[in-house]
A and B are shown apart, each in its own frame.
Chain A
Amino acid sequence: MEALNNFWSIYSNLVLSLGINALLALSIWLTLSCGMLAMANAAFMGIGAYAASVLTLNYGWSFPPAILAGMAAPAFTAFVIGKPTLRLSGVYLAMATLAFGEVVRIAVLNTESVTGGALGLNGIPQLTEWWHVLLAVVLVMAGLWRLRRSKVGRAFEAIKEDETAAGLMGIDVGGHKMLAFVLGAAIAGLAGTLNAHLTFFIGPNEYGFDRGVEILTMAILGGINSLLGPVAGGVILTVLPELLRSVGDFRLVLNGFILVLIVLFLPKGIWDSLRTARWLGGKGAGA
């Protein structure tokens, strides 16, 4: 018990960050699973973080409704920009969504009165408890697991493989893509809200290009064929910098090296590579 308490007092932030990164990776998994390379989730995270933080900090809202607001705001934004944006495909979609992230960042910089501008928001009440994060991860994973096993999950996979054929199966492709986009935004907003109320400070630079790219890396690194892949990716990208702390100045360099090595030698992402290795080449369908 003593050891557990010690562990917790040193590593609680790390563990909670892990959970939040897992949520972020899962949020982009959703859009990846229907074949869309949408990289706006960092922006959605930021929208959620700011929305919830402004409500708790300036208007004294309690946590639960603030969390809901933190999910609703990015979901609504996703719905609004989804229509024109989701017409794009491939690299264009990726870049448009990245660009949107930067647009949001600049918007925050220029609305100082509400968002604190470049100085960010300070003193956000630290309302996030460990069980908030745990519950969020468990619920999101459970929901997504069920989704995969339903007609919606099959529709996503069909769309990912061949949009035209999927449409001819009676699947409303545009509607499903929007669903993935909006749902992913809500989950990213949840992560942002929990994160903001953990670190008690947020600033506009946390939700830009670099964060967007990091989220994508987590998902791809872990492998997108199963739900545990993105989680594994999130874990690695959170834990690795910590593990390398002792290496000193060049730990991030090592971080980069490891990333390159993983990409070169574990093509399906970490989780999927481990799985395929275990099942001796029996590439079963489903699950």
Chain B
Amino acid sequence: MNANDNHRSAVPLLEMQNVSRHFGGLKVLQDVSFSVPQGGVFGLIGPNGAGKTTVFNLITGLLPVTSGHIRFQGDDLAGRRPHQITRAGIARTFQNIRIFKEMSLLENVMVGMHAHLSYGPLGWLAGTGLFRSEERRARDRARELLSWVKLDHKASDVADNLSYGDQRKLELARALATEPRLLLLDEPVAGMNSVEKTDLMHEIRNISARGYTIFMIEHDMRFVMGLCEHIAVLNFGRIIAEGGPEAIRNDPQVIEAYLGREDDETHPQGAPA
């Protein structure tokens, strides 16, 4: 798997085709089209209120599209409920972290494996061999995923006790547990200090190297430019630019969109650190 293969790979993993989302008279998204290719890290950026989280909500089935199509591996996702979309291979983290606070880290990640545990009521009622082996597999896999984000030493701790940065990492591990092909990260470094951000950048590179396709929404331009091979820019519900980091950085429309807002995380020109 070569994370640097770009638009020339076969079918794009995710395609947004003329997607619009209206809410009453409010046009949140208008005629949005872009493709997320297989492999690599894809970024969606744009000023606050541009509609980025709505894109994620549409993809994961939390909201219906008003018009247009969303295709995942060629299949139209219309009409599918969130849990069906997850089982098809799309996982997601949230801007305002939604881990299960009263469960342990291990249990949080094990919940993510729900769809992949293949025992039924007879299994858990009777405690059959299949039940035991599947549960063991779930436990082991959960520990493995926690070790990927370096949280395995806290596996039995209650999730509520974690620091903010650790909670984000837990969410990441939990999303990975659903065995996705496409991982949607909603502002993964919001609220983190620069040490934590560098840390997470590392983790995401590792995860990408393992073959997961990553699609992230982020504000922090430095972070995005450092990680993403392809970027799309959303402004007022419309895509205004799409391409590699260099192209985006120099695009006049993008510069104007960001300069027109107070956004102290952005560097419209000049090399990021």
A→B interface (CB under 8 Å):
143, 146-147, 149-152, 154-155, 157-158, 161-162, 164-173, 283-286
Contacts and interface: CB of A to CB of B under 8 A. Distances in A.
Given A147-B124, A285-B103, A168 B83 contact: yes
Contact of B60 (A162, A168, A286): A168
Contacts of B91: 168
Interface stretch (B105-113, B191-199, B244-252): B105-113
Nearest to B118: A151
A58 to B, nearest CB: 34
A168 B82 contact: yes
A164 B62 contact: yes
Contact of B86 (A152, A155, A169, A285): A169
Interface residues of B, number: 41
B117 interface: yes
Given A154-B107, A169-B115, A173-B83, 14 more contacts: A146-B124, A146-B125, A154-B111, A161-B102, A164-B98, A167-B86, A170-B86, A170-B87, A170-B115, A171-B115, A172-B81, A284-B156, A285-B104, A285-B107
Contacts, number: 96
B100 interface: yes
30 contacts: A146-B124, A146-B125, A150-B119, A150-B131, A150-B135, A151-B110, A151-B114, A151-B119, A151-B138, A152-B121, A154-B103, A157-B102, A161-B100, A161-B102, A161-B103, A162-B100, A164-B62, A166-B111, A167-B81, A168-B60, A168-B83, A169-B83, A170-B83, A170-B87, A170-B115, A173-B83, A283-B158, A285-B103, A285-B158, A286-B104
A280 to B, nearest CB: 16
A285 B156 contact: yes
A170 B114 contact: yes
Nearest to B179: A170
Interface in B73-104: 81-83, 86-87, 91-92, 94, 98-104
Contacts of B81: 167, 172
B125 A143 contact: yes
Interface string B159-190: 00000000000000010011000000000000
B24 interface: no
Contacts of B178: 169-170
What 7 pairs across the A-B complex have the smallest Cβ distances? Answer: A285-B104, A170-B115, A150-B124, A170-B86, A167-B82, A165-B98, A161-B100
B63 to A, nearest CB: 11
B87 A168 contact: no
B100 to A, nearest CB: 5
Given A168-B92, A173-B83, A162 B158 contact: no
A178 to B, nearest CB: 14
Contacts of A286: 103-104, 107
Contacts of A151: 110, 113-114, 117, 119, 124, 138
Question: Which of B62, B82, B91, B103: most chain A Cβ within 10 A?
Answer: B82
A15 to B, nearest CB: 28
Contacts of B115: 169-171
Contacts of A161: 100-103
A154 B114 contact: yes
B97 to A, nearest CB: 10
